[in-house]
A and B are shown apart, each in its own frame.
Chain A
């Protein structure tokens, strides 16, 4: 009896599930920081897809793309969290339902 290796389809399905869970979180939660965490989770799922395709197509481009996605995620985390702190300072809330003005 020969046990096959883990097929790439399972990795892609897992990545899809993680992406969908992140999407549900980003749509349904009202706390801006939880929405932010869900977006990070979606970025992670996309990275998993990149790495899976890179591994099973035996190329390096997917790995480098995942690297750049991480760079962008780090920059986004710094600026986004600074914006949340600023919002909290001026509005006393980070509920995304109450933040509906570009200028106040």
Chain B
């Protein structure tokens, strides 16, 4: 009985969040004002964070909110406000046929994804991390990150330093 209640709530949350995320992602690519697009993008990222919670990876959900919805979108909004884009750039409704061709290709690609997902079930050797094991998700993530994935972690730190230096050098005013 309690299983039923849990699954019912999971379905309700999943359907609500799925429809909200699709709606807001469509808003991102259709709004004329880039600031509105950025704010809809925040909502999309938050919906995906809720999906991560449903999939029981709390660590990634928190990182999603902090890094994506917080830092990256804030950076995008900063740059949008720095650039002061004029009206004609906002609309940009010329070159209609290329948009139609691109959209049709993308929808065909979507059908390809549907076929691949539905035709082949998710098979593979299951690992040791059952949902009961994941109640302290951050600890498990940390254990794997600092043992098995230690070298990629160090590479990632070097990549971030390089990105910081690159951004500073690029946006410096005087050469």
Contacts and interface: CB of A to CB of B under 8 A. Distances in A.
* Contact residues of A: prevailing secondary structure: helix
A17 B166 contact: no
Contacts of B3: 2
Contact of A75 (B28, B44, B80, B163): B163
Contacts of B8: 3
Interface in A52-96: 52-61, 63-64, 66-68, 70-79, 81-86, 88, 93-95
Contact of A33 (B7, B34, B99): B34
B16 interface: no
A18 B22 CA distance: 7
Interface in B5-23: 7-8, 10-11, 14, 18, 21-22
B29 A82 contact: no
Contact of B118 (A9, A74, A97): A9
A71 to B, nearest CB: 4
Nearest to A23: B106
